[in-house]
Chain A
Amino acid sequence: MTSIAPLLEVERLTIRFRHSEPVRDLSFRVHPGETVALVGESGSGKSLTALALMGLLPRGARAGAARLAFDGDDLRGLDLCAWRGVRGRQIAMVFQEPMTSLNPVLTVGRQITEAVRHHEGLSARAARVRAVELLDLVRIADPHRRVDDYPHRLSGGMRQRVMIAIAVACRPKLLIADEPTTALDVTIQAQVLDLLDQLRRDLSMGLILITHDLGVVGQWADRVVVMYAGGKVEEAQADALFGGPLHPYTRGLLAASPQIEGGRTYHDGPLREIPGSIASAAGEPGCGFAPRCAYVRPACRLAPPAVTEAAPGWLVACPVTRAQPQEASRVATGSL
């Protein structure tokens, strides 16, 4: 399990604004070639975490961490110049909105080559060849023609492919995809995620997939980090998590998603919602999920529950789950 050195190590990452702490003590690791999904609802701190990894936090936000290492190098305290060497080259990012993430006044080819020329100093002609290759790599039909198109001539799915081409242009070791398919319809979503998965394997990148779509997680992620109100509530291999979630929040999430089971589809299958909203976690000294939790214990409201290892590689921050460790370990080992 720990034989390979992790590509990215995040330990106790905390992001503070003046009056709030949207991310608290978040720890996770990404290994080379692995897809880790950060799952959580809106406001759980997923995107902020991604921005913190790129050193692109909004003004007024401060990040602190016990350890924030990429490929063995400490990312904490990097100055602007050092960050520029990391961004795009080592860690690249694909954003949620393909419609607005491309510069409307530059051609697609120009935007792809810009990154390559900036980081690798290629000549204009070599960069253009590379741009066509990259467009081909992300499976855009007719790349020779498309390379001279402006973004408004491309559909949403194609724009997201272009964004991915730009992101992988410098062969980063880690790709962060922040809800890459939220703005796309379902068939395009599958294409884009298949593409990301393919590129991850071909270029042996680590991939952080930020999403709130459990279907996406189930199909494409190797490991899942479930976030709630800025903290990690559960982390497990995707199979194990879907086989038997431990944390009450994860269980609620899975129960609230359409599942194909027993011949039922989301048309007639039951969908159970989690009562309350994530806003109730604000200012809670204990577990952020306590106000919405059906199994809440008095101790939960006093201090955040410790993260414990329910099974090898399966971390959960909930005392309630310790009642059934046997089942947990059975599911966990059975799926690996």
Chain B
Amino acid sequence: MSLPAIAQRPGRGRWGVVRGPEVLGAPAATPPAAGSYRAVRVFFRNPAGVLALLFLALVAAVSLAAPWIYPDDPLSMVARPFLWPGHSWDYPLGTDSLGRDVAAGLVWGGRISLAVGFAAMGLGVTVGVIVGALGGYFGGRVDDALQRVTDIIQTMPSFVLLVVLVAIVQPSVQSVTAGIAIVTWPTVARLVRAEFRSLREKDFVMAARALGFGHARVILREILPNALPPLIVTASVLVASAILMESALSFLGLSDPNVVSWGSMIGSGREVLRTAWYLSAIPGVAIVLSVLALNLIGDALNDAFNPHAATGA
């Protein structure tokens, strides 16, 4: 029998025996209340972020309600052209060079701009996360191959690439969304790859593997949740840049001619910029405020997720 009796162990008498105090019943020190909702609370303590979120929620609500606010096609001609804002109660923001209602265009355009912004972000983040996670987690040849693809796209000026992509296929909401996603996913991939490369070395990842978890589970359940904070911050900024890209494309005339977006409204007001500047200014202000709101939300999220940032301010 290889197990020695516990009773007397002669050789060890001179080695001090350490006994720990009994733990049960010992009051456990509870650190100041701080849970997973800390980030949410810090976010809501940031007035700029809250204001931005409220504004964006308002824009989204109005855009979603567009079919009820303006049931008619925003591209239909409803009044005489160049009606300035404030001249008619029926058309509070006036009419454009073809006599289309600017307010209706603004509301319907918000739909397209936000939809393209969020959809392109979603698509770009999905592809970026998959590529970045696989490359960062596995490293080696997989990483090399994926990094080369990322590099190739990043070496091209993104807006020029976007213009070319959209010009090749017919401009439509789908193709513009896909194009924006194609030029933005490398940013996400780089970020996620960097996060995964540092997180995969963490002890808890090794501990998870020691429990017999497979790669998919380690990537999705152990590492990805830890990589989310910077990803969420980036995503909010990506929506803003996607809205800007869509506007820029529309301004250049590379947009779906059958729908109105903020960018296409600016584009159609371009020729009369000196005489009817409000046609470009009104959708321009909408873009500026929305993009600003998204950036402020990004900043607030950044502060909320960053444990080192001052929590009071």
Contacts and interface: CB of A to CB of B under 8 A. Distances in A.
Contacts of B23: 139-141, 157, 191
Interface string A112-143: 00110011000000000000000000011110
A4 interface: yes
Nearest to B307: A152
Nearest to B19: A190
Given A56-B209, A84-B214, A101 B4 contact: no
A294 to B, nearest CB: 23
Interface string B115-136: 0000000000000000000000
Given A34-B3, A95-B210, A153-B34, 4 more contacts: A87-B212, A103-B204, A191-B23, A192-B20
A28 interface: no
Interface of B: 1-4, 9-12, 14-21, 23-26, 28-31, 34-36, 139-140, 202-204, 206-214, 217, 221-222, 225-226
Nearest to B205: A103
A31 B4 CA distance: 12
A222 B26 contact: no
Contact of B210 (A54, A158, A240, A331): A54
A100 B18 contact: no
Contacts of A187: 18, 20-21
Contacts of B20: 187-192, 194
Interface string A42-68: 000000000000101001000000000
Q: Considering the complex of A and B, which 7 residue pairs feature the smallest CB-CB distances, nearest first?
A: A190-B20, A191-B20, A243-B11, A87-B212, A88-B212, A88-B211, A218-B15
A323 interface: no
25 contacts: A31-B3, A84-B212, A87-B209, A87-B210, A87-B211, A88-B211, A97-B203, A101-B206, A102-B204, A103-B225, A106-B225, A114-B221, A115-B212, A118-B212, A119-B212, A141-B26, A142-B28, A153-B30, A218-B11, A219-B12, A219-B18, A222-B4, A239-B4, A260-B16, A336-B4
B12 A105 contact: no
Contacts of B204: 100-104
A166 interface: yes
Interface of B is mostly: loop
B17 to A, nearest CB: 6
A166 to B, nearest CB: 7
Interface of A: 1, 3-4, 31, 33-34, 54, 56, 59, 80, 83-89, 92-93, 95, 97, 100-106, 114-115, 118-119, 139-142, 146, 150, 152-153, 155, 157-158, 163, 166, 186-192, 194, 214-215, 218-219, 222-223, 237-243, 259-261, 313, 331, 334-336
Contacts of A223: 2
B28 A158 contact: yes
Contacts of A336: 4
A221 B38 CA distance: 44
Contacts of B10: 239, 243, 334-335
B283 to A, nearest CB: 41
A190 B18 contact: yes
Contacts of B35: 150, 153
Contact of B11 (A33, A83, A240): A240
A279 B306 CA distance: 41
B28 to A, nearest CB: 6
Contacts of A33: 3
A141 B207 contact: no
Contact of B225 (A31, A105, A190, A194): A105
A133 B214 CA distance: 26
A194 B14 CA distance: 19
A137 B115 CA distance: 53
Contacts of B222: 103
A106 B213 CA distance: 15
Contacts of A31: 2-3
Contact of A100 (B4, B14, B36, B203): B203
A76 B129 CA distance: 35
